[in-house]
A and B are shown apart, each in its own frame.
Chain A
Amino acid sequence: GQNIDQPTEMTATEGAIVQINCTYQTSGFNGLFWYQQHAGEAPTFLSYNVLDGLEEKGRFSSFLSRSKGYSYLLLKELQMKDSASYLCAVIKAAGNKLTFGGGTRVLVKP
């Protein structure tokens, strides 16, 4: 089976940095996704890590350590529009289905 854990909620100030951690346990691993979901909207793709290390994409970066079963999403220079839920999802080696964590709700305050 798969257990995917991430904090329920985080609060940060506009312009600051926030790091959202995700830990997972899975019998097979073929990559980890981060999605952003604004309230009432569909999740949208942010990043995909399959190898260890840091992937940077503008203000957002995602890190993966397969040996530790650990990932984080780093949001820099926070903007009010970054207030959303951030979903960590793991894909197993066999098959294409994603298994999601419960999501982390990030609230950005002025």
Chain B
Amino acid sequence: DVKVTQSSRYLVKRTGEKVFLECVQDMDHENMFWYRQDPGLGLRLIYFSYDVKMKEKGDIPEGYSVSREKKERFSLILESASTNQTSMYLCASSLRRPQAFFGQGTRLTVV
């Protein structure tokens, strides 16, 4: 069975904190993605990676960075969390074929 695991389901952080969201997949997928999901806006792509140590900006990368040191792990970093980054964050992975498999999501609240 395909498995994409995000480290936390719920997270509460303070404004200005550095936040790490971790995602691990066990399917040997090359491609990994980070989305955020907000009511009325759907899923928006933050960053994606085609391979280890490779990363590309998505549609809304500002305020975020990513790290992919190992093929199975893709981390999303909020350097200095702000309240407008309160959202549901979804990680996904895929092979060369474009079907993406999603993690269960992390609901982040920045206070």
Judged by a CB distance under 8 angstroms, whether A21 is at the interface is no
Can you name the residue of chain B whose Cβ is closest to the Cβ of A1? B59
Q: Are B98 and A96 in contact (CB under 8 A)?
A: yes
Assess whether B25 is interfacial by the CB under 8 Å rule. no
A42 engages B103 (CB within 8 Å):
yes
The reply to whether B96 and A100 contact each other, CB–CB distance below 8 Å, is no
Contact B42 A102 (CB under 8 A): yes
Number of A-B contacts (CB under 8 A): 55
Which B residues are within 8 Å of any A CB, using their own CB? 4, 31, 33, 35, 40-45, 48, 50, 58-59, 90, 92, 94, 96, 98-105
Knowing that A33-B100, A96-B50 are A-B contacts, what are 10 other residue pairs whose CB atoms are under 8 Å apart, sorted by A's residue number?
A: A8-B40, A30-B98, A42-B4, A45-B100, A89-B43, A98-B98, A98-B100, A99-B59, A100-B44, A102-B42
Contact surface of A with B, Cβ cutoff 8 Å: 8, 30-31, 33, 40-45, 48, 87, 89, 91, 96-103
